Amino acid sequence: MAARRESALLIIDVQNDFCPGGSLAVESGDDVIPVINRIMPIFFRVLATQDWHPPDHVSFATSHPGRKPLDVVTTDGIEQVLWPDHCIQGTRGAELHPRLETGRIGLLLRKGMRPRLDSYSGFFENDHRTDTGLRHYLKGLKVRELFICGLATDYCVRASALDARRLGFRVTLIRDACRGVDLPRGSIEKAIAAMRKSGVRMIESTDVESMAVESMA
């Protein structure tokens, strides 16, 4: 696989606020880091996304008086789940986790920067129209296949994988390199089902390593 230039690894939001101790921590979220670090050298291209919110972002419960985290509101016609303040621009919580080996990341795409519009997917904002430019970057490099991992399975990973499929990419989810929020309960299972239905392949990191060995044989 290291020689397959049409493949890329896409790491979703492995940031301090989504790991234990963060303001929106995913249970065992930091367990993905050694897995991702181990498989990164297999890929010719590695990309990552980073939530990068302004302090008054629409996704924060504090931006909606009388509301609390996990409430759902409609803003500008878009359904929005409310969260604790997280990944605020320039804060430690927004930084990529310090144990993630960032030296191999060739592109870091920041998303969710518009105060009134959230972005789960690395490809489109949550209006499903505003393009981040990632697809054009990938197609310019002739990348046709994405291996996706990171946080969280049932939100930003799911949205990125589904959008990538809609855009015509071959997509594989590396399951043991992902963790989910599972709020509401069952959302991880539903996310996996939705991704499978769209044609996303499911593998483990050991499968990636095996494919790399086979490609070099």
Rounded to whole angstroms, the Cα distance separating 198 from 183 reads 22
Among 19, 87, 149, 156, the active-site one is 156
Active site residue 111: yes
Active site residue 13: yes
- 37 burial class (0-12, 13-18, 19+ CB within 10 angstroms)? middle
Rounded to whole angstroms, the Cα distance separating 104 from 46 reads 6
Among 17, 19, 51, 111, the active-site one is 111
Active site residue 190: no
- Coil, helix or strand at residue 51: strand
Q: How many alpha carbons lie under 13 Å from residue 200 in its C-beta half-sphere?
A: 30
Give the helix ranges, DSSP H, for 17-108.
32-39
Output the CA torsion sign for 132, 134, 137, 139: negative
- As annotated, the active-site residues are 13, 111, 156
